[in-house]
Amino acid sequence: MSLLLAQAAVNDANIHFDKLYSYRIPAELAGRVFPGSMVLVPFGRGSKARMAVVLAVGEVDESDAPKGLKTLYDAAPEDARLTPDLLELVRFLKERTFCTWFEAVKAVIPYGAQYRPAVVDGRHVMQGRLTRSTERLYTLAGALPEKPKPGPRQLAAVAALQNGPLTARQLDEVGISRATLDGLVKKGVLTAAEQDKAIDLFAAIPFDPQPLELSPEQQQVFNDLLPNLEDARPHAALLHGVTGSGKTIVFLRLIQRTLELGRRALVLVPEISLTPQMIRRLKSTFGSRLAVQHSALNNTERLLQWRMIQQGNADIVVGTRSAVFAPLQNLGLIIMDEEQEHTYQSESAPRFDAHDVAKKRAVMENALLLFASATPLTETYHAAESGKLQLVQLTHRYGGRPLPSVDFIDMRAELAAGNPREVSVRLARELQENLDNGEQSILLLNRRGYRTIGMCTTCGHVLKCPNCSVPLVYHKPQQALLCHHCGHTVHPLPQTCPECGGKISYSGFGTQRVEEELAELLPGARILRMDQDSTFRKDAHETMLAQFARHEYDILLGTQMVAKGLDFEKVTLVGVLGIDSLLFGQGFRAYESVFSLITQVVGRGGRAALPGRALIQTSVPDHPVLQLAAAQDYKGFYREEITFRRFSLYPPFCSFVVVGFIGDQEGAVFIAAQRFGALLGQHAAQKPNIPLRILGPAPMNITMLNNKFRYKLTLKCRNDAAFRALLHETLDAYDAEKLPQKASVILDFNSDGDL
C-alpha cells in the first residue's frame, strides 16, 4: 500500500527550526493538496493546529512512512493555492534573506488571502481571514404581482432597479432594506447573487488621455529603451534624469507600448504619499484596468485589488514595496521610481530588497526592469557605468527650465546674531515674499514631534524610554513624551528630573515646533504640516496633497514625505531645516542619503513657469556633500562616493551583511554574538576562496529596544551560494550549542550598518 505525503513548512517557526515536516494526506483531501497549497497541520507534542504551506507532494510505501506520521487536518480550496510563480518567489526569499518559509508566504500574499486555524463542531478546520469580501447584487427578474397590493417600499425597490442591478449597500443608501429585497426575491421579482465587492477605487478620476508628446531628449531615451522592451527578453536599465526632466512621461509612453504589446506593467513608488499622484496620471491616461497594492488600503480593499490582479483584470499595478509581489501575469515592464529610497528594503522578515525581487521577476517574466532616479544608489549607478545595466539619461529639465538656485544659511551666524528660533531671518523673509506674491513654499524637516530631547538642567539626566535606549520626544498636542520606537507614553509632561528633582529643559526641534514658529512669524500664512502624526488617517496623504495643489495652503511643512516626486507648479521656494544630524548620522550611506534628500527636495521647486530657489539651513555650509548637493552635481558626488566605497571596502565592492543578536541578558547576548563570530571564522577557514571580514561584536546603535538587548556582527563578504551555505553551517553550529536560547539571530543583507 502506498500513501500520499505532503512536505510542509509551518507558521510561527524561526530560522532555527524552519524545516519541512511530513504529513499524511487523507483521502478526502487528496484532490486539494499540491505544492503551494495552504494547509492546517497538527504540530508539536500537543498536536496544536498550525497553518502551513505545502512545498512538495509525493508517494511512499506504507512500510517506508516515517514513524509517528501525522495526518493533515484541513486544506484550503484549490484556487487559494500559491501559483508556481509565487512559490518561486517564496523560494527566492527563503534562499536570499534567510527568512522562514512561512514569513515568505505571508510576504507574497495579502493578509486577506491568508487563512487561520479554527475549530468547528470539534474539528480543526481553516478559515479565510476575510469572509465578507463579497456583496449581494440584486437584479430585476420579473414584474411585481398586482395582488397582494405592493407596498411603497416594494415599488421603490423595483423602480430603483429599473436601470440595472444594484448592490445591497447601494439600495440601503436609498432607504431600501435587505428584508424588502429578500421578500421580492422570494416572489421571483428579483434575483440575488454574490459578487466580489466593487473594486474600482478610483471611479472619481476621469478617463482623459492627453497626447504623450515627448521632448527630443525624452524621445531619445524612449527609443533607446524600446528594443529592450519589445524583444521579450529580460533586461534592466537605469533612467538617470534630473528632477523635473519628465521621467513620468517616459514611463507613460513605455507603459502604453507595453499594453500595445499585450503585456502588463508594474509601477513601484517608494511611499504611499506618491501613489495618488501616480494613480491619477495612469488612470486618466489608460482608464480603469488599474489596481493598487499598498498598506494604506484596508484588508478588504487590498484583497479585492489583489484578486483583480490575480484574475487578470488589471493591466497596470501601482504600489509600494510589497507590490513587487503582485501576481500579474505576462509582465512586460517593471518601473521602480526613485529607486534610491530605503523604503524599498524591508526592515522586518523577510528582509528583502525590492530591487532584487524585481530583478528576479524581470528574469522570470522576460520583462524590462527600469530603475529611475535623479540620485540613483551608488551601487545602481556603478552597475550602469560598468555595463551591467543599460544607462539612459535626461540631463535637462523639461521646457528648458532652470534648476533651482541654492543658497546656504549659516545657523552659527544666526545664533551669534541672537535669533533664538529654528527658522532663520532670511528664510522667514523669503517665505513672506512668496506669500505676498501668491506663490507656495515647501519646508523639509525630517523630525516629527515638538521638542526632541528633555534634559535636567541640574544633573544632565536625559529623559529616555524605559524600554528602549533612546530619548523620549515631546509631542505638544498630547502634552506627552512619546517613544518613537515602542510607543511608550509619559503623561503629563515631566517638569522635574526623576533623578535629582531639578528642572527639565526641552530642546531640539521637530515639525510641530517649526509649525508654531511659522505661525508666529507669518501671521495669516496657511500652513499644512505633513508627518506621520498628521497623516495617520486613511487617505490623509491624498487629501492634504490635493488641498495643497488647490492652493488652500501656502506652506507645506513636513518630513521626508514632502521631499520626493511631488509636482506642484506654484512652488518656488524650498527650505531645508535640521539636515546636519543626518549628515553626521551613522552607516555608510549617510552621505548618499543626505545628498539624495536635498537634491530631491530642492527639485520640488520651480517646476513650471516660475523659477525656483532653495535655502538650506546648516551649521556646516562648507561641507562637501552639501556643496555638491547645492550644485546638483550627481556625478561629482558619485565620483567622491565610489572612491570612498572602494577605498573603505563597502558595496558595490563587497556585500555587507549585518548579523543581529537579540536577547534578554546583555552579557549573554554579547557572548552569543562573539561565539557566532568564532564559529563563522572556523567554518570559513575550512573552505577555499571565501572572502570574509568579520567586524564586532558591537552594540547596535539602539542597544536596547522593547526591553531586549541588541548586538551585531558586521560581515564584509561576497554574497554567493558558497557564502550562504557557510552561514547555514554556522547557524547549525550555533544551534547545536543551544545559543538561540541566549540570543536569537537576525540576518540583514541590505543594512547600511545597523538594524
Q: Where on the chain is the footprint of ligand ADP (CB under 6 A)?
A: 213-215, 218, 241, 243-249, 398, 567, 607
Shortest Cβ 255–ligand ADP spacing (Å): 13
Identify the residue among 255, 297, 357, 465 touching Zn ion (CB under 5 A).
465
- Which of these, 667, 652, 657, 662, lies nearest to 726 by C-alpha position? 657
Tell me how far apart the alpha carbons of residues 151 and 143 are, in angstroms, rounded to a whole number.
14
**In terms of CB distance, is 510 or 605 closer to ligand ADP?**
605
**In terms of CB distance, is 246 or 327 closer to ligand ADP?**
246
Grid cell, residue 401, equals 527650465
Q: Which of Zn ion, ligand ADP, none binds 514 (CB below 5-8 Å, type-dependent)?
A: none
Shortest Cβ 432–Zn ion spacing (Å): 40
Residue pair 342/374 in contact by the 8 Å Cβ criterion: no
Q: Which of Zn ion, ligand ADP, none binds 663 (CB below 5-8 Å, type-dependent)?
A: none
Q: Which of Zn ion, ligand ADP, none binds 247 (CB below 5-8 Å, type-dependent)?
A: ligand ADP
Return the beta strands (E) in 418-463 as ranges: 440-445, 453-456
Tell me how far apart the alpha carbons of residues 460 and 457 are, in angstroms, rounded to a whole number.
6
Q: What is the bridge-based pairing of β-strands 264-268 and 405-410? A: unpaired
> What b/e string do you get for 89-118 counting C-beta neighbours within 10 Å, with b at 16 or more?
bbebbbebbbbbbbbbbbbbbbebbbbebe
Q: Is 187 left (phi over 0), alpha (psi -120 to 50) or beta?
A: alpha
* C-alpha pair distances (Å), 184 with each of 149, 154, 170, 172: 13, 7, 17, 15
**In terms of CB distance, is 374 or 527 closer to ligand ADP?**
374
Identify the residue among 7, 299, 405, 467 touching Zn ion (CB under 5 A).
467
Identify the residue among 20, 60, 486, 521 touching Zn ion (CB under 5 A).
486
Classify burial at 511, counting beta carbons within 10 Å of its beta carbon; exposed 0-12, middle 13-18, buried 19 or more.
Answer: buried
**Is residue 236 involved in binding Zn ion (CB under 5 A)?**
no
**In terms of CB distance, is 32 or 708 closer to Zn ion?**
708
Tell me how far apart the alpha carbons of residues 671 and 443 are, in angstroms, rounded to a whole number.
46
Three-class SS state of 437: coil
Q: Interface with Zn ion by CB under 5 A: which range of 218-226, 438-446, 465-473, 740-748?
A: 465-473
Q: Which of ligand ADP, Zn ion, none binds 273 (CB below 5-8 Å, type-dependent)?
A: none
Classify burial at 743, counting beta carbons within 10 Å of its beta carbon; exposed 0-12, middle 13-18, buried 19 or more.
Answer: buried
Q: Interface with Zn ion by CB under 5 A: which range of 21-29, 161-169, 359-367, 484-492?
A: 484-492
Q: Which of Zn ion, ligand ADP, none binds 213 (CB below 5-8 Å, type-dependent)?
A: ligand ADP
**In terms of CB distance, is 368 or 472 closer to Zn ion?**
472
Q: Rounded to 5 degrees, what are φ and ψ at 90? A: -60, -45
**In terms of CB distance, is 370 or 739 closer to ligand ADP?**
370
Cβ of 690: how many Cβ atoms within 10 Å?
A: 17
Grid cell, residue 302, equals 487590498
Identify the residue among 464, 488, 526, 613 touching Zn ion (CB under 5 A).
488
Residues 702-721 that bind Zn ion (CB under 5 A): none
Q: Report the residue number whose CB is nearest to ligand ADP.
A: 246
The per-residue DSSP string of 43-84 comes to ETTTTEEEEEEEEEEEEEEGGGSPTT-EE--EE--GGGSPPH
Shortest Cβ 315–ligand ADP spacing (Å): 21
Shortest Cβ 140–ligand ADP spacing (Å): 46
Shortest Cβ 215–ligand ADP spacing (Å): 5
Q: Rounded to 5 degrees, what are φ and ψ at 670? A: -60, -45
Q: Which of Zn ion, ligand ADP, none binds 208 (CB below 5-8 Å, type-dependent)?
A: none
Q: Interface with Zn ion by CB under 5 A: which range of 479-487, 579-587, 626-634, 655-663?
A: 479-487
**In terms of CB distance, is 301 or 337 closer to ligand ADP?**
337
Q: Would you tell me which residues interact with Zn ion (CB under 5 A)?
A: 465, 467-468, 483, 485-486, 488
